[in-house]
Amino acid sequence: MSEPVTALATAELALADDALVLSHRLGEWAGHAPVLEEEVALANIALDLLGQARTLYSGLGDEDELAYLREERDFRNCQLVEQPNGDFAATIVRQLFFSTWQELLYGQLTAHPLATKAVREVAYHRDHAEHWTLRLGDGTTESHTRTQRALDALWRYTGELFQPLPGLDADWAALRAGWDERIADVLGRATLSVPEGPREGGWAAGAGRQGLHTEPFGRLLAEMQHLHRSHPGAKW
């Protein structure tokens, strides 16, 4: 398999991997959601993300080769999206962090063909995550506690979102400022606090983009790739 040759291709591969891996995590919810409406909503978001991944991969090579035949160290997704689903609050917080970032980034990439198409999808994802953040944060004591815990646990993976992806024509400082503002606003309305822990340094910043992942990711890939790898060359 050939490595992407341009900076833009490398950046697109990272965006595609983000979408694929988060879509996979959301797919794990099927049949386990707290209400039927969320079965529909989570599957819907997963499908949008899978569609984005496929569009990007197809521009870079064979989508199935890229998804199924690369090793863990070759994947360029950020560590946030590979985090296990946890409870519904953890899934919603992960989605809020990611979708807000994606909406702001895609809003900037007006020249990119995928971004113009996907920006409406990601606005819907952000809206869904935002509404649930409000319900959970300002719901019961239990839901508030769980959501704050999820925010605190996932916060360390957010710094990576703002490591510039060379090749993408984006203003990363503005992206970060916009994201901080949006998240602070939503969390404030949800009666939740913006976590204070570190957002970068060591493994937490930019590691996924370099193929350094967290431990659960290897198992995700083992499950995802197993069947495809068991039948080399087969068509499905």
The footprint of other proteins (CB under 8 A) covers 20, 24, 27-28, 30-40, 43-44, 46-47, 50-51, 53-54, 57, 63-64, 67-68, 87-88, 134-136, 138-140, 142-143, 146, 223-224, 226-228, 231, 233-236
**Residue 143 beta carbon to other proteins: minimum distance, rounded to whole angstroms:** 3
**Residue 142 beta carbon to other proteins: minimum distance, rounded to whole angstroms:** 5
- Return the structure tokens found at 181: 């503002």
Q: How many other C-beta atoms are found inside a 10 Å radius of the C-beta of residue 8?
A: 17
CA distance 75 to 164: 17
The set of residues, in sequence order, having a beta carbon less than 8 Å from that of 78 and lying 6+ positions away, is 14, 18, 157, 160, 161, 208, 209
> With respect to other proteins, which residue has the nearer C-beta, 191 or 210?
191
> With respect to other proteins, which residue has the nearer C-beta, 68 or 172?
68
Contact yes or no for 56/77 (Cβ under 8 A): no
> With respect to other proteins, which residue has the nearer C-beta, 139 or 164?
139
**Residue 93 beta carbon to other proteins: minimum distance, rounded to whole angstroms:** 13
> With respect to other proteins, which residue has the nearer C-beta, 2 or 235?
235
> With respect to other proteins, which residue has the nearer C-beta, 27 or 195?
27
Q: How many other C-beta atoms are found inside a 10 Å radius of the C-beta of residue 213?
A: 22
Contact yes or no for 182/129 (Cβ under 8 A): no
**Residue 51 beta carbon to other proteins: minimum distance, rounded to whole angstroms:** 7
> With respect to other proteins, which residue has the nearer C-beta, 46 or 170?
46
**Residue 35 beta carbon to other proteins: minimum distance, rounded to whole angstroms:** 6
Query: DSSP string covering 165-215, please?
Result: -TTS---HHHHHHHHHHHHHHHHHHTT-----S--SSGGGSSTGGGT---T
**Residue 52 beta carbon to other proteins: minimum distance, rounded to whole angstroms:** 11
Closest CA to 132 of 102, 99, 110: 99
CA distance 33 to 145: 20
